[in-house]
Structure 1
């Protein structure tokens, strides 16, 4: 059985760049709407109220199975462009009764002003995270930076931003 989780992002483009801010995970659209309602009151977010994006991600899925060979993008960040395809065989993590999930990324410093970062995925248990990291450690790119995986345990339905951005 595959499970999915909802994610809320805010992606906006201004005169100089495009920026994405990850706001949180939830096991229901209702909770995601509550997060959005809190965020849209903050500076920056309220300036771009139509830029909230809801995605779904399959739990315990590694998004970089083949490793990597070079820095991606102009600032070295490479994220999943959109959520996973969810079909009728995939059900919400709500069924698992989780209160937290584990978000995993990989980031290493190329030079003073440039990091190379990839989002690996979201996992239901620390044991599954550790297994995924062990699988990736021998893949191209990852094997040269085996100690640079970042694991964050995140509460569901919690807004990860406590203030806005940009000028107030």
Structure 2
């Protein structure tokens, strides 16, 4: 495993749509492992492949209950709504108030190509939506009702 460089806004790779993963092999496993290590080292809760310069539909998340890996994820159900703060490892120093579903159900594949379903509420729901947006070239600053600078006194 190893860490990768996190791509920063306004790099154009962050605005591109990612392609479906078709091969579930050692290269994909290495990407997933590297993305998880990169996310943890940066003190993030989610990371999408374009954030490390790879235009594939791959995300990793850990909102406190352990790592979740999803390949070719899609949201199949949404429920409720709230506006809450979001940040992004690719846009350091900024936060935004973004309207998101309170609960989502996402389907995708695991690292071996097996179907998985993840139901998320609150932070995990927000994270799933945020990371899938990355796969479509959408950033939180595009959706934010308000964008503001992160207080440097706040912990990561």
What's the TM-score, normalizing by structure 1?
A: 0.25
Higher fraction of helix: 2
Greater strand fraction, Structure 1 or Structure 2: 1
Q: Which has the higher contact order (CA 8 A, sep 6+)?
A: 1
